[in-house]
Amino acid sequence: MLRRGGCLCGTVRYSVRQEPRVHYCHCEMCRRATGSAFAVLCWVERQTVSWEAEAPALRRSSPLASRGFCPQCGTPLTLDYDGSSEIALHGGTFDEPNSLRPGYNYGAERRLDWVCAGTDLPNHVITERW
């Protein structure tokens, strides 16, 4: 199955040839990086992602990872851990996000009190340390 997505302004467009592993991330870094209450991260093998015109601009967001965003409109697009074969695309950037199915929570201990999404799903605590 081929999925497509892109940023708000259309400068960065992608296609993905793998069905993503989808989860909510409630960590503070995802919250700030998306400007939302939590992130919906969609993990795929890096080589299954094709950037159609322009690739995202990258900004180092921690000693472990970089985050990709559209250089024109600023839409957050990716979370990319150093040395990982996988890359995460932000769920809201898919053209058909309604068919994505989050399977668990990451950073559940940081979930905001008023966030109801994913309360019926398994919880994983944050394991990254630096």
Residues near Zn ion (CB under 5 A)? 7, 9, 11, 25, 27, 30, 70, 72-73
Closer residue to Zn ion, CB minimum distance, 1 or 79: 79
DSSP assignment of 109-127 equals GG--TT--TTTTS-EE---
CB of 116 to Zn ion, least distance (A): 18
> In the chain, what is the greatest distance between 2 CA atoms, to the nearest angstrom?
40
Minimum CB separation of residue 26 from Zn ion in Å reads: 7
Q: Which is nearer to Zn ion, 1 or 66 (CB)?
A: 66
Residue with Cβ nearer Zn ion (73 or 125) = 73
Closest approach of Zn ion to the CB of residue 60, in Å: 15
Please, which residue, 1 or 6, has the CB nearer to Zn ion?
6
Question: Shortest gap between Cβ of 126 and Zn ion (angstroms)?
Answer: 8
Distance CA 123, CA 115 (A): 14
Beta bridge partners of 4: 15
